[in-house]
Amino acid sequence: MRMIKQAGRHELEIRKSRFVCTLARVRTEAEAVAFIAAHRRAHRDATHNCTAYVVGEHGEITKSSDDGEPSGTAGVPMLEVLVRRGLTGVVAVVTRYFGGVKLGAGGLVRAYGQAVAETVDAVGVVELRPVVTVTVCADHALAGRLLGDLHGRGREPSQVRYGRLVEADVPVAVAELEDFGAWVAQVTGGRAELRRGAEGYVEVPVP
């Protein structure tokens, strides 16, 4: 599953028309609809505010709108970019300010698709990978080395708590749980305790 890294905006000009694409992360269809409504209120002076969104864990909910442009020339190419990139949890609005030169159906399809594609490139994409939070508990004598080794392996704890024991919450990919447990046992001589916690996702940048 992939999402945009962050919200963002990008503008391009094609034959005197301005195309301003705004992308935002959303969790539900209701959030996408609310974002579109607010954007249209804020940009009611525009010629068109065309939209597309993809939501759902597997991108199963999709919708687009041409907002007065010829049918299939705006919302559909916008949506196709989002789907082709494998994105979900994203809403796109392309605000057009007409410059007086008609682009034709083919020109509109290219313009709206390009606006979304360039904006996705600008904000970046992350892949959501399933992880389990594993709490590693060790005494203070072991904790310094253990935390250093975790850092060296690129496994930064999301939280570290100091009490009678040092407890480090480490996100671990589901497929790596067994290997991680074996590694902790090796570096601590079997003197650390592991507790499996909540499941979730981590965001990994996509090159």
What kind and span of H or E run contains 75? helix 75-84
pTM of the predicted structure, to 2 decimals: 0.76
Q: What is the pLDDT along the chain (207 residues), one digit of tens a residue?
A: 899 999 999 999 999 999 999 999 999 999 999 999 999 999 999 999 999 999 998 899 999 999 999 999 999 999 999 999 999 999 999 999 999 899 999 999 999 999 999 999 999 999 988 889 999 999 998 988 899 999 888 888 989 999 999 999 999 988 899 999 999 999 899 999 999 998 888 788 887
Could you write out the DSSP letters of every residue in 120-174? HHHH-EEEEEEEEEEEEEE-HHHHHHHHHHHHHTT---SEEEESSSEEEEEEEEG
| 23: β partners | 8, 92
Domains in the chain: ranges and CATH:
2-123 (3.30.230.30), 129-205 (3.30.70.240)
